[in-house]
Structure 1
Amino acid sequence: MSPIRQNPPPIRSDLPQEAVDRPLSAFARDYAAGELVPRHAHGRAQLLYATRGVMRITTDEAGFIVPPLHALWMPAGAPHEVATEGGVAMRALFLRADAAAAGPGATTVLAVSALLRELILAACAEPLEWDPAGRGGHLAALILDEIARAPSLPFRVPEPRDPRLRRLTAALRAAPSSSRTLEEFAALAGASPRTLERRFRAETGLSFARWRQTLRLAEAAARLASGETPARAAAAVGYASAPAFGAAFRAAFGITPGAARG
């Protein structure tokens, strides 16, 4: 994950989807595995959705894992970068300020219903200047209704700013199954365990143990949504006990690991 930078990102304005005089416009593009879209921002809010592949989206405050059947709501002007796992078929929406009122006030992962998925795909087939009184207008109205009622999901993993903590979190993101303790990470981070724990709580609102669990469950959810079995997903993120993984997953997401499998 890239370091957090405080300088303002470039606002992209080269996309016709951001200039068209419609409440929303659709954007379709396929990305190769491992592709990175550098840090930038948009003048309009976005709903970032992919019919295939996993997106890892980094803002200045957190990292978000967005598997299929989920989308990331991104307010206008929010700096972010996008990394792809596997080939990603992005089908996104840009929303004018009036239409963006349908979405959350902050960057949020949303569950995408079967209806919203089909509406997004249908919007991608419409011309940019669709007829407000015709099919395009009907699609836009339904899309805004579905966004407003879409459940939010805890796929947000807060990112600390302290460079000592970032060395630690980078190591865990690279190997979420690692069983290294905070004491063992102290040498890597260059700070005492007590200092690390205190800074973790101050910068992320979570203890080190809770942050690691949040990361593991978000990673596991992405694996499940991509079709991996619960047993393999649990092992990949460091859960030796299937019941413990199932209990933690249900507590975080309200469904069983099996139900989350794509």
Structure 2
Amino acid sequence: MPIINKLFPPEQWIDPDAVPRPVVTFGMALERLDSFELDFHRHAKSQLLLTLRGVLSCEIEGGLWLVPPQSAIWIPGGTMHSVTAAGTLEGYNAFIDPAVATGLPGQCCSLTATPLLRELMIRAAHLPMLYTEGGMESNLVTLLLDEMRLAPLGTLHLPMPADARLRALVAGLMANPADRGTMQTWAARSGMSERTLARLIAAQTGMSFGRWRQQLRVMLALQWLAKGLSIQKVADGLGYESAGSFVTMFRKVLGAPPGRYMARRERADREASAP
């Protein structure tokens, strides 16, 4: 598995499913300017993926999750998923045996990382791979599992439809998010009536077309802002008439304007990285 363990050189990467411990935690640090993509795969152990720097997205059947800094995603064991990131990425992966995952979500979801969860993930990543069971190291792992169960659920989730016509529509929106075509326009492009499109997208995503497109734009905005794009460039790339209208939407969805939101994330990043 292409996971960078801070305690081991790349030639010693280890498949966490092969490690006979209930919880296996790796640190990862990818310094890249281009994009990084891990194609669809699965593992028997469940996975908690926490990011400290950078933004990554994870797609499973039926959903796309965004993981900004100081957030995490929970992926139940056996779930087919892909991971995409760009720029610098730093974070931690914990792989959990289903036998000890009682009380953890049965479905993929995003989590807001508490300060204690971050510290426990970092500490667990420095345990020996085959840590001693039944002592202090096992107690640390138990506490980590308890804190995972208490982590608040996040909201940066984009339901993905299964219908082939809707998937083609989704691909078009993601390829050109600045396209300001109306629902009627997209329905015509997809060979459907506006009413059929509305019914299908509501049934398969639980959202209206407008709400789904707004959520997509929020997720793309966070990715672009994390890569250093200006608010104006993000607004232009998403098809907003002005930076002000983009900021208004962003504040409405995430509770703070883009600059303040990203500054808060960066501050949390510095605090988490401080010795």
Counterparts in 2 of 1:104-119, with a 5 A limit?
A: 104-119=105-120
Tell me if the contact between 2:188 and 2:194 (Cα under 8 Å) persists in the aligned partners. Answer: no
2-side partners of 1:168 and 1:158: how far apart?
14
> How many residue pairs get matched?
249
Shift of 1:174: 2.2
Tell me if the contact between 2:29 and 2:89 (Cα under 8 Å) persists in the aligned partners. Answer: yes
Letter in 2 for 1:20: V
Please give the secondary structure, in 2, of the residue aligned with 1:219: helix
The equivalent residue for 1:28 is: 27
Shift of 1:260: 2.5
Shift of 1:169: 0.9
Q: For the structure 1 residues 174 and 62, does the alpha-carbon distance in structure 2 shift closer, same or farther, using more than 3 Å as the test?
A: same
Which 5+ residue runs of structure 1 have no aligned equivalent?
A: 1-13
Greater strand share, structure number: 1
2-side partners of 1:234 and 1:143: how far apart?
39
The equivalent residue for 1:158 is: 159
The equivalent residue for 2:201 is: 200
2-side partners of 1:26 and 1:194: how far apart?
48
Q: For the structure 1 residues 101 and 226, does the alpha-carbon distance in structure 2 shift closer, same or farther, using more than 3 Å as the test?
A: farther
Counterparts in 2 of 1:90-109, with a 5 A limit?
A: 90-109=91-110
The equivalent residue for 1:171 is: 172
Tell me if the contact between 1:102 and 1:144 (Cα under 8 Å) persists in the aligned partners. Answer: no
Tell me if the contact between 2:232 and 2:242 (Cα under 8 Å) persists in the aligned partners. Answer: no
Instruction: Give identity over the alignment, percent.
Output: 36
Higher deviation after alignment, 211-220 or 221-230: 221-230
Tell me if the contact between 1:69 and 1:225 (Cα under 8 Å) persists in the aligned partners. Answer: no
CA deviation string 1:98-149 (max 9, x = no partner) = 3322422211111122332232122222111112344422431332232122
Shift of 1:160: 1.0
2-side partners of 1:116 and 1:178: how far apart?
40
2-side partners of 1:249 and 1:61: how far apart?
24
Which 5+ residue runs of structure 2 have no aligned equivalent?
A: 1-12, 267-275
Tell me if the contact between 2:24 and 2:95 (Cα under 8 Å) persists in the aligned partners. Answer: yes
Matched, 1:50 2:85: no
Letter in 2 for 1:19: A
Tell me if the contact between 2:54 and 2:226 (Cα under 8 Å) persists in the aligned partners. Answer: no
The equivalent residue for 2:18 is: 19
Letter in 2 for 1:184: T
Q: For the structure 1 residues 249 and 120, does the alpha-carbon distance in structure 2 shift closer, same or farther, using more than 3 Å as the test?
A: same
2-side partners of 1:176 and 1:151: how far apart?
30
Matched, 1:69 2:64: no
Q: For the structure 1 residues 205 and 141, does the alpha-carbon distance in structure 2 shift closer, same or farther, using more than 3 Å as the test?
A: same
Give the TM-score of the pair, scaled to structure 1: 0.81
Give the TM-score of the pair, scaled to structure 2: 0.78
1-side partners of 2:218 and 2:17: how far apart?
35
2-side partners of 1:243 and 1:99: how far apart?
48
Q: For the structure 1 residues 229 and 93, does the alpha-carbon distance in structure 2 shift closer, same or farther, using more than 3 Å as the test?
A: same
1-side partners of 2:140 and 2:234: how far apart?
36
Cα RMSD (Å): 2.7
Letter in 1 for 2:152: P
Shift of 1:45: 0.7
The equivalent residue for 1:188 is: 189
2-side partners of 1:184 and 1:177: how far apart?
14
Letter in 2 for 1:41: R
